[in-house]
Amino acid sequence: MTTPDPRAALSYKDAGVDIEAGDALVERIKPLARKTMRDGVLAGIGGFGALFEVPKRYHEPVLVSGTDGVGTKLKLAFEWNMHDTVGIDLVAMSVNDVLVQGAEPLFFLDYFACGKLDIDTAAAVIGGIARGCELSGCALIGGETAEMPGMYPPGEYDLAGFAVGVVEKSKILTGDSVVAGDVVLGLASSGVHSNGFSLVRQCIVRASAGDPGLPAALDSKPFRQALMEPTRLYVKPVLAALAAHPVKALAHITGGGLLENIPRVLPKGLAAHLRQGSWPRSELFAWLQATAGISGYEMNRTFNNGIGMVLVVDAKEADALTRTLQDHGETVYHIGTIAPIGNGAAVEVC
């Protein structure tokens, strides 16, 4: 048996980094990125930095930025080999946040990190990112694919995303104009979105070990598809609504659920009173609550519970705003009103 010569030359590939695989991935995603191009892109994927020109129709443009990930939903993507939708989640979590300030998302950058690059898996993930950008009218103009041997277990990866939008300075949504008597509208979610999956995964473990086990389907979708349904992208319908109606505040319902996200856009001294039953209960959320054995309060603090975006509007505008959103494909519910906070919580569901 020969002993390896410790002085023998090593390549980067010997160390676990395959530059050729990275180049092949870039070539595969370039056509996907091209489909997201929009006015303002000066230089996109391939350079050291991406260039974007703020649209000239803005007189006093203010840039709004956001960053997020997909969280432990990725663990199910690994386990179930379902990689084509988590990219949409990644985009949605950032562009929906940017939207809350009234901003139009302009461009997006992604960060994909793994121990060993699997081109097919990475292309599926980034294909989802490109699809999310396309559906949001947002250009995918750059990103980073990092292959780091020893940092991640085989078959696993991490994702981060970064969105930049723009809003006219005079039209920034702050929630300062919200008053008692305003109406709270809720836009339906597509499912769990990308929050609460540490608890979701515990529910799966608990149900798998019990009787009757995991359901075959929820809400007319196969079980795994129901849970992996990507976060809904609200950008285009809500921008259309903002262009036509004086919306006072928006809240993206992410981690912390309805109870912790709505107060972030309310002036001090005001609360949102939400009507229990004013939006339907899905089989998915009913299953999660029953399996976890948690209260309605905890459901509303952990999950979006069926409402992915909230709008606050003057009562006189509520019906017209609802029609506009419905015309753009949204399912809209009148879920409550704004009232003085008194001695109660900033959000009450009753």
Question: What residues does each domain of the chain span?
Answer: 19-171, 183-349
Coil/strand/helix, residue 245: coil
Average pLDDT of the chain, as a whole number: 92
What tokens were used for 343?
A: 């001695």
> Do residues 99 and 265 touch, judged by C-beta distance below 8 A?
no
Which of the pair, 140 or 33, is modelled with greater confidence?
140
pLDDT (tens digit per residue) in 189-220: 999 999 999 999 999 999 998 888 899 999 99
Name every residue whose Cβ is closer than 8 Å to that of residue 172 and which is 6 or more positions away in sequence.
62, 101, 102
The residue among 163, 160, 147 whose CA lies nearest residue 107 is 163
Work out the percent of the chain whose per-residue pLDDT is above 70: 93
Task: Please tell us whether the domain made up of 19-171 is placed in CATH 3.10.130.10.
Answer: no
Architecture of domain 183-349: Alpha-Beta Complex (3.90)
pLDDT tens track for 33-85: 788 888 888 876 667 788 899 999 999 999 999 999 999 999 999 999 999 99
Cβ–Cβ under 8 Å, residues 335 and 275: yes
First to last CA, the chain: 76
Q: How far apart are CA 193 and CA 255, in angstroms?
A: 10
Give residue 269's pLDDT band: very low, low, confident or very high (50, 70, 90). very high
Tokens of 264: 């972030």
Banded pLDDT at 17 (limits 50, 70, 90): low
pLDDT tens, residue by residue, 106-117? 999 999 999 999
Q: Which residue has the tokens 């753009």?
A: 328
Q: Look at residue 16 and tell me whether its pLDDT is greater than 80.
A: no
92/88 Cα distance (integer angstroms): 6
The pTM assigned to this predicted structure is 0.92
Distance between CA atoms of residues 263 and 49, nearest Å: 37
**Paired strand residues for 41:** 52
Task: Classify 79 as helix, strand or coil.
Answer: helix
For residue 47, what pLDDT is reported?
Answer: 72
Cβ contacts of 255 within 8 Å, gap of 6 or more: 195, 196
Cα–Cα distance measured from residue 137 to residue 108, given in angstroms and rounded to the nearest whole number: 10
Mean pLDDT over 328-340 rounds to 97
pLDDT tens for residues 247-257?
999 999 999 99
Alpha carbons 323 and 45: distance in angstroms, whole number: 39
The pLDDT of residue 31 is 78
